[in-house]
Amino acid sequence: MKPTIQGRLTMSVVSLGLGLGLSLAHQSINAQEMPGWEKALYEAAKKEKEFTVYTAHYSTQGAANLCAAFDKKYPGVKCNFVRTTAQVAYQRYQQELKANKPVVSVLSSTDVGHYPPLKAQGQLMAYKPNNLGNMVDALKVYNDPDGHWLVTSAGLVVITYNNSLVAEKDAPKKWTDLLDPKWKEKLAIGHPAFSGYVGTWVVAMDKTYGWSYFDRLEKNRPQIGRSINDTVTMLNAKERWVAAGPDATTLQSQDKGNPVSVIYPEDGSLLMVSMTGIPKNAPSPNAAKLFIEFLLSKEAAEVQVKDRAQSVIKGVRPLPGGKAMDEIKLLRPSEDEIAKGIPAVKEKFRDTFGI
């Protein structure tokens, strides 16, 4: 006997109820499996409902992927993000402070020089994550010992090139190769006044080779973007042939079928450690803490690696075609050199390149 329409509706409602019940039970089980500190933080975060992240760490898609993974793991807490350059994110936060209208709850920047002044002004909350033990040991030295900021992203500045225009054997192998006149009007770089990655790279090159490096580089008439990610766009468009660019965004572009490649320079790839802190006036402080815990989890590391970033978590390796930090020579100025150096090189860069 076939079920009546009413019977079919009843069965559908029952099925829906069972499905919803199973879903809620699954969520409940997940919550029960959380350690006590995580469960308490999650419950507090759910009362705040949502939070906003300002980030210069990732591409827009990378930030969206991380937020989506967080939302899936912690339903009921919405992750919103604003992806912009390091300097713009910092300026936006400063405007909120002056207006006393806080929006951001998680402040992530590629310019490590932003954090010491904020700490000195009492503008950052101290928080030492429970998941800190998951972090790659070599990166822990860059965390604030008092817990006002910590490493949540790592990447590399490397030499990149359009492989439809440049053969691998002819590509630059070290930073000084970019000074070769054959790259005149074929080179792309970013601007240290906008990008923390570029600012740190300029400090590193100045420390290693002196400012004469940039005097000579200027003679090759590089095309200068704002974000370091602009160099990838220039290579894809064949506006430039080689660049000082990011490994992650370049490899992402390569994964999409674009003719770009990376070279890990013989004289050292620049290690970029990007920081995250919680503003003292964060509208959603518990959600912010939960997000930082998430960034130090295996789930977040796997999302980052899929987006070609370096893993800050132990035991998560890069995808084929990329190299991990322990496989290559690294360059990294000290935090003091970066904090003091970036403001100085911004002015020297403008004087040298006229932009």
DSSP-assigned states of every residue in 154-193: EEEEEEEEETTTS-GGGS--SGGGGGSGGGTT-EEE--TT
1 pLDDT higher than 50: no
Q: Which of 62, 63, 44 is nearest to 54 (CA)?
A: 63
Mean pLDDT of 243-267: 96
Share of the chain above pLDDT 70, in %: 91
- For 333-354, give the secondary structure using H, E and C: CCHHHHHHHHHHHHHHHHHHHC
Q: Token pair 């998680």 is at which residue?
A: 106
17 pLDDT higher than 80: no
Specify whether the CB–CB gap between 268 and 31 falls below 8 A.
no
Strand locations in 212-268 (E): 223-224, 242-246, 260-263
Mean pLDDT of 324-330: 90
What pTM does this model have?
Answer: 0.75
19 pLDDT higher than 60: no
Share of the chain above pLDDT 90, in %: 77
Distance from first CA to last CA of the chain, Å, rounded?
Answer: 81
Q: Which of 344, 303, 265 is nearest to 58 (CA)?
A: 303
- Confidence band for 50, pLDDT divided at 50, 70 and 90: very high
Burial class (CB in 10 A: 0-12, 13-18, 19+), 57: buried
25 pLDDT higher than 70: no
Q: Give the pLDDT score at 261.
A: 97
Mean pLDDT of 223-232: 94
26 pLDDT higher than 80: no
Q: Give the pLDDT score at 87.
A: 87
278 pLDDT higher than 70: yes
203 pLDDT higher than 70: yes
- Confidence band for 117, pLDDT divided at 50, 70 and 90: very high
Position with higher pLDDT, 17 vs 109: 109
Mean pLDDT of 27-44: 81
CA 323 to chain centroid, in Å, comes to 17
pLDDT in tens, 120-163: 999 999 999 999 999 999 899 999 999 999 999 999 999 999 99
Mean pLDDT of 297-313: 92
Q: Give the pLDDT score at 21.
A: 44
pLDDT in tens, 82-112: 998 888 999 999 999 999 999 999 999 988 8
